[in-house]
């Protein structure tokens, strides 16, 4: 058995190089839309939007807050059901997951790019 970067490999060519990569996102923000169940019975997904803010100062000293909106998708069955049943618009949450880039066809057949965060963990904070 051969070991590359801490990963054991059986039956693979010795010229194959595996390396560890990281795709991890941590977001702390407020839910912008009620979670919705989409997909089908075989491939259900729960989706909602999450707002995060960046604060910066203009040259004249005025502070400005910029809002970024993130599309959150949940595939894990138990997490999907918990979010669908208990998450509410405006609630403050922490999301840990990974970025996913993809494409879809709109109603006119045009290919559009899409970006989403695939949530692995969601931590609920008390509603204020």
Per residue in 3-12, pLDDT tens?
445 555 555 5
Is 40 a domain residue? yes
The string of pLDDT tens digits covering residues 88-99 is: 999 999 999 999
Is 56 a domain residue? yes
Work out the percent of the chain whose per-residue pLDDT is above 70: 87
Distance CA 91, CA 25 (A): 19
User: Where is 86: in which H helix or E strand?
Assistant: helix 77-86
> Does residue 21 sit in helix, strand or coil?
coil
Domain of 29? 25-124
Domain count for the chain, please give it: 1
What CATH number is associated with residue 84?
2.40.50.140
Is 1 a domain residue? no
pTM greater than 0.95: no
Is 20 a domain residue? no
- Which residues, at least 6 apart from 88, have a Cβ–Cβ distance to it below 8 Å? 31, 34, 127
User: With contact defined as beta carbons under 8 Å apart, do 36 and 48 qualify?
Assistant: yes
Is 69 a domain residue? yes
Is 107 a domain residue? yes
Is 37 a domain residue? yes
User: With contact defined as beta carbons under 8 Å apart, do 67 and 124 qualify?
Assistant: no
Burial (0-12, 13-18, 19+ Cβ within 10 Å), 30? middle
User: With contact defined as beta carbons under 8 Å apart, do 89 and 100 qualify?
Assistant: no
φ/ψ of 80, rounded to 5, equals: -60, -45
In this predicted structure, the answer to whether residue 53 has a pLDDT above a threshold of 50 is yes
φ/ψ of 85, rounded to 5, equals: -85, -30
Hey, which bits of the chain come out as E strands? Answer: 2-4, 7-9, 25-31, 36-39, 44-57, 63-74, 92-105, 111-124
């Amino acid at each position: 058995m051969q070991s590359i970067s801490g990963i054991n490999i059986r039956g693979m060519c010795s010229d194959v190089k595996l390396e560890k990569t990281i795709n991890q996102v941590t977001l702390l923000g407020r839910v912008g839309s009620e979670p919705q169940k989409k997909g089908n019975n075989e491939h259900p997904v729960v989706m909602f939007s999450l707002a995060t803010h960046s604060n910066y100062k203009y040259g004249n000293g005025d502070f400005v807050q910029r809002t970024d909106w993130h599309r959150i998708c949940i595939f894990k069955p138990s997490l999907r059901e918990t979010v669908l049943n208990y998450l509410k618009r405006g609630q403050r949450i922490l999301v840990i997951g990974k970025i996913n880039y993809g494409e879809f066809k709109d109603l006119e057949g045009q290919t559009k790019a899409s970006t989403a965060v695939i949530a692995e963990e969601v931590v609920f904070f008390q509603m204020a």
